[in-house]
């Protein structure tokens, strides 16, 4: 999964680079900045003292020191002022410049916090939207493979588009239903047996052996049945990609699926994709619910209204919203796994 959203402390991320939201002098004064300086140890502060001051959107690189990452990419996000001072543009530049710098460093994985969402006052839901837009644009327009994680602390802070409608949809399909139906059963006339001999005869007439059984298919019948099987997931996926006029690369990037996973789907006959992966391709290909169900059946899966994950994905598909990153934000908020692989 090239992009994932998780509930985790960024200082514990074992990756090539993490991004530190700081001020112009790398002070380590509060929030995530302080946590990163504390975790990295005094060597980080000593290196930061030798760096030139930052401007909004700029980045600078230091070592990771005692943290499990190789590099710390420092950036200064904008202070929220109601959205009137190009804050969104400046914030997007923080994410994009950090990604370009990570690419220069040869990093294969990078973790971001929600930049400017703490002491700088930028609304968390707006930061998340800007972050996933910037990251998805970068992933879609580069040939380099990089695994991006967005670390957040507060699931409840996010306001998602259509959130009220989504909650109503979930409530409608998950509230308990109790139904009692009376059935009239026709009883066979009672029969009294005169003596043990007549009872044995009655019981014999209702023996298990008298119940008709379905005819087992012959070997020839079974082989004909197997030949009628549907296309495999890989075959159907490639057909759909062609029908939609997409390239393979466009499809797996839009699906938030790695190149390695796509290779396995098409080359490893024993590889069975997860439901999250299948649904990621359904979203990328903008399939209807019926087409999505058909794609799921190729790997023996189905959507279920008893599954919150399935309900959320179904809600977005039925409403024609195929923004995989918005869907993943909703899944994250409801403590579900993200789509992709």
Catalytic residue ranges: 33
Nearest to 6 by CA among 170, 130, 139, 148: 148
CB under 8 Å to 291, separation ≥6 — which residues? 282
Rounded distance between C-alpha atoms, residue 42 and residue 63, angstroms: 12
Rounded distance between C-alpha atoms, residue 271 and residue 230, angstroms: 17
DSSP state of 65: T
Q: Which residue has the tokens 């040939």?
A: 143
Q: By the 8 A CB rule, do 96 and 58 touch? A: no
Count Cβ atoms below 10 Å from residue 237 Cβ, excluding itself: 26
What is the residue-wise DSSP string for 257-309?
--HHHHHHHHH-TT----HHHHHHHHHHTT--HHHHHHHHHTTT----TT-HH
Q: By the 8 A CB rule, do 330 and 170 touch? A: no
CB under 8 Å to 17, separation ≥6 — which residues? 69, 70, 71, 72, 73, 102, 105, 107, 109, 110, 111
């Amino acid at each position: 999964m090239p992009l994932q959203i998780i509930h985790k402390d960024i200082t514990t991320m074992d990756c090539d680079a993490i991004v530190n939201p700081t001020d112009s002098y790398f002070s380590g004064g509060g929030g995530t900045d302080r946590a990163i300086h504390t975790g990295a140890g005094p060597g980080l502060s000593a290196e930061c003292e030798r760096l030139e001051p930052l401007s909004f959107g700029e980045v600078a690189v230091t070592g990771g020191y005692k943290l499990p990452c190789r590099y710390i990419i420092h950036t200064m996000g904008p202070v929220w002022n109601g959205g009137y001072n190009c804050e969104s543009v400046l914030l997007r530049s923080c994410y994009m410049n950090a990604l370009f710098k990570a690419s220069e460093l040869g990093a294969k994985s990078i973790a971001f916090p929600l930049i400017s969402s703490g002491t700088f006052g930028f609304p968390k839901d707006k930061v998340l939207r800007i972050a996933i837009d910037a990251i998805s644009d970068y992933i879609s327009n580069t040939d380099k493979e990089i695994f991006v994680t967005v670390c957040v602390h507060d699931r409840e802070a996010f306001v998602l588009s259509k959130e009220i409608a989504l909650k109503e949809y979930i409530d409608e399909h998950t509230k308990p239903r109790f139904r009692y139906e009376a059935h009239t059963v026709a009883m066979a006339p009672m029969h009294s047996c005169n003596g043990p001999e007549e009872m044995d005869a009655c019981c014999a007439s209702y023996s298990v052996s008298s119940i008709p059984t379905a005819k087992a298919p012959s070997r020839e019948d079974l082989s004909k049945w197997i030949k009628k099987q549907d296309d495999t997931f890989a075959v159907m996926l490639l057909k759909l990609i062609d029908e939609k006029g997409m390239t393979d690369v466009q499809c797996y990037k839009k699906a938030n699926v790695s190149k390695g996973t796509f290779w396995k789907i098409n080359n490893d006959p024993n590889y069975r994709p997860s439901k999250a992966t299948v649904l990621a391709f359904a979203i990328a290909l903008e399939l209807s619910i019926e087409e999505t169900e058909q794609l799921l059946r190729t790997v023996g899966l189905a959507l279920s209204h008893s599954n919150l994950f399935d309900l959320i994905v179904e809600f977005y598909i039925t409403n024609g919203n195929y923004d995989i990153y918005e869907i993943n934000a909703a899944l994250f908020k409801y403590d579900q796994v993200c789509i992709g692989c």
